[in-house]
Amino acid sequence: MKNMTITKIHVWSVANFLGLMGIATGAIKGVILPVLALVGAGALGDVDGGIAKVSAAVSADIGSVVAFGIGGWVGGAVYAWMANWVLKWTKGISVDTK
């Protein structure tokens, strides 16, 4: 086994990763769940009404998808910055790898 010590986390990569995770979470919350709720409630009615209701539900929550992405990116940058400070103070994290 190799012993590896993590002493620094790249802020931009963590921010980008958590920003994309935020977009994925926002898409589930803002796009998929409202569509499933409409289908499950049987509130679609005819085809034209169903398309209108689904498109209204999806387009109403696009802002939350963007907000989740921005929040994830900012949160990831702050978290990585704090983690780097703590890693410097504790002299890193030791991980055993194969």
- The torsion angles phi and psi of 96, rounded to 5 degrees, stand at -90, 130
Taking the chain, what is the end-to-end CA distance rounded to the nearest angstrom?
Answer: 5
**With 80 as the cut, is the pLDDT of residue 63 above it?**
yes
pLDDT of residue 45: 66
Tokens 């890693």 sit on residue:
87
> pTM higher than 0.85 for the full model?
no
Sketch the domain layout of the chain as residue ranges: 11-86
Q: Quick one: CA dihedral 48, 53, 56, 59, positive or negative? A: negative
- 4-57 pLDDT, tens digit per residue, is 999 999 999 999 999 999 999 988 888 777 777 777 776 666 666 667 777 777
Say which residue, 79 or 61, is predicted with more confidence: 79
